Amino acid sequence: MRSSIRTRLLAAFLVVAVASALGLSVYFLSELESYGLRKLEERLNSESLVLAGMVAAQMNASGEHVLSQGRAVALRDELARLGPMIATHVRILDAEGVALVDSAEPGDIGARYDKTPEVASALEGTRGAATRITENGRVALYVANPVMVNGRVAGVAYTSATTFSIRTLLRDYRLRLGAAVLLFVVLAFVLTEVLSQWLSAPLRDLARTAVAFAGGDHSVRVRPRGSSEIRALGDAFNEMADEVQTVMSELTEEERRKTRFVSDVSHELRTPLTAIRGAAETLLDGDVPEDDARQFLSTIVRESARLSRLANDLLTLQRIEGATGELPITRVDLGETAQHAIEGLAPLTESRGVRVILEGSAPPVLGDKDRLQQVLGNLIDNASRMTPEGGTVRVLVSSEGRESVVRVLDEGPGIAEEDIPHVFDRFYRAQASRDRSSGGAGLGLAIVSAIVRSHAGTVAAASRPEGGTAFTVRFPSAAG
Ligand SMILES: Nc1ncnc2c1ncn2[C@@H]1O[C@H](COP(=O)(O)OP(=O)(O)OP(=O)(O)O)[C@@H](O)[C@H]1O
Ligand SMILES: [Mg+2]
């Protein structure tokens, strides 16, 4: 399971909290401890100094050089009297380091202390001090000062005190630490809540939007906010969403085009098939007079011819649009090509009683001669169909700038402004030529447009002011 921002923040805060509580406690406790020890040592030192001074003064006064038992008894009495004022444990040792007086443990009188470093140092005439841990875990401080009589060490004033127990210290320390951590935990929770809200709100926003987007609503976008990183993420998401939306709408459009194409094709197939079937069924019934039978047979021939032309046209379109530059490219003279197209259509145009004339010339263009002839053939076919009997179709070849241009002009009804954007669509037939007897499937201009585009050219239709329609095809002229 992935942890949330909140969990991670909480973990981070807790680590910081515990670490800082620990660090601070250790620091302050050690400061406190060393301060206490320093103070205590000062006190032990001044008490033992006073004591050493007092013993030395008494001995000087009575002219003694060695601490005697009698002096020891007198000192015990004196210490007992001073007792309440002396908080420390006081011992007076003789010049050998043997206890003559002990304020706290009278039973310890006679014990030897000459082996402890502080006493050893005092026996040599200089102050000694030490810190040790006693058997019951307490920190004890020891200070020993020599009792100087006539410049010689006559004894030692030895003071000591235990400080706070280390265990007490640890317990106290743990308690404080616990309290600090607890405080930090509470703080961490509050901070985490606030911060994670602040940090993750824009992320949750983004996630919500992404879910909606994935659910199919491609119009949703995030409002970039929060930190710069999250903002960048939001921007990136929006860019991606724009792209996906565009692609999706293109796909939908493509899908619609395909569906329309299929329904158009089946619609185109239905008419000739119905005619062929009707004729064939009538013939099958028998009893058809010779003349009518011929009529039906010619219907079958004509309609099946139309079907095969439709199939050819669709195939041509498919090939051109799916082609990947494998056209056989040669230099093509458009005048010559127009001439061939006119000759090929002669039987048709003559049957329509339309004259086709060719004028002008242009530099060659690069392309596929047969395809270019098909372009001009389709345009001339349309023009001659639209032109009334006895009229003329003019094919003008010319050079304009760097382009070789062919215009096909007819004397027909012209072309409606609203049809112009559509005439190059597949299966499109303008209202005026809806009657199928005169027209084909509406693929001619779609083929023209596909071929022209594959030759880097353009094709346009326009009504002529003097009547009729002009189709203009332009190709880039071949250099040299
Ligand atoms: N010279 C023209 N004058 C007026 N309208 C035209 C002319 N040429 C084409 N059109 C219009 O454009 C439509 C599409 O032409 P297109 O050549 O693609 O199809 P078609 O001639 O009807 O059928 P097909 O060429 O497949 O046999 C025609 O039906 C017609 O309405
Ligand atoms: Mg046509």
Here the CATH number for the domain that contains residue 92 is 3.30.450.20
The reported pLDDT for the residue numbered 436 is 43
Is 22 inside a domain boundary?
yes
pLDDT for 2: 60
For the entire predicted model, the pTM comes to 0.55
Pocket test for ligand 1, best of 352, 417, 438, 445 (most atoms within 8 A of CB): 445
> How far apart are the CA of 20 and the centre of ligand 2, in A?
89
Ligand 2: centre distance to CA 429 (Å): 9
Domain membership flag for residue 190: no
Please give the number of the atom of ligand 1 that sits closest to the Cα of 431.
Answer: 31
Q: What residue's CA is closest to ligand 1, atom 31? A: 430
Query: Which residues, 6+ apart, have CB-to-CB distance to 432 below 8 Å?
Result: 413, 416
Verify that 141 and 222 share a domain, yes or no.
no
Q: Mark whether 344 and 456 lie in a shared domain.
A: yes
- β-pairing, 469-476 with 458-463? antiparallel
Question: What is the residue range of 384's domain?
Answer: 326-476
Identify the pLDDT of residue 283. 92
Do 228 and 340 reside in the same domain of the chain? no
Here the CATH number for the domain that contains residue 364 is 3.30.565.10
DSSP state of 465: T
Extract the residue ranges of the chain whose pLDDT is less than 70.
1-2, 84, 87, 164-167, 169-170, 323-327, 431-439, 480
Could you tell me the CATH number of the domain that includes residue 277?
1.10.287.130
Same domain, 165 and 37: yes
Looking at the fold, whether 316 and 332 belong to one and the same domain comes out as: no
Q: How many domains does the chain have?
A: 3
Nearest ligand for residue 410 CA: 1
pLDDT of residue 80: 82
What ligand is nearest to the CA atom of residue 268?
Answer: 1
Which distant-in-sequence residues (6+ apart) come within 8 Å of 59 by Cβ?
65, 67, 71, 147, 149, 154
Nearest alpha carbon, ligand 1 atom 5: 415
Q: Are residues 77 and 133 in the same domain?
A: yes
Residues framing ligand 1 (Cβ under 6 A): 378, 382-383, 386, 410, 412, 415, 423, 428-430, 433, 439-446, 469
Task: Tell whether 256 is covered by a domain.
Answer: yes
* Candidate of 317, 378, 423 to mutate for ligand 1, largest count of ligand atoms within 8 Å of Cβ: 423
Q: What is the pLDDT of residue 434?
A: 47
Domain final residue, candidates 116, 144, 172? 172
128-133 β-sheet, strand order? 99-102, 89-94, 152-165, 138-149, 128-133
285 within a domain of the structure (yes/no): yes
Within 13 Å of residue 437, how many CA atoms lie on the same side as its CB? 1
Q: Pairing between strand 365-367 and 355-360?
A: unpaired
- For residue 150, how far is its CA from the centre of ligand 1 (angstroms)? 144
**Spatial CA neighbour of 185 closest among 6, 15, 4:** 15
Within a domain: residue 184?
A: no
Q: Are residues 106 and 242 in the same domain?
A: no
What pLDDT does 294 receive? 93
Query: Measured in angstroms, how far is the CA atom of residue 443 from the centroid of ligand 1?
Result: 8
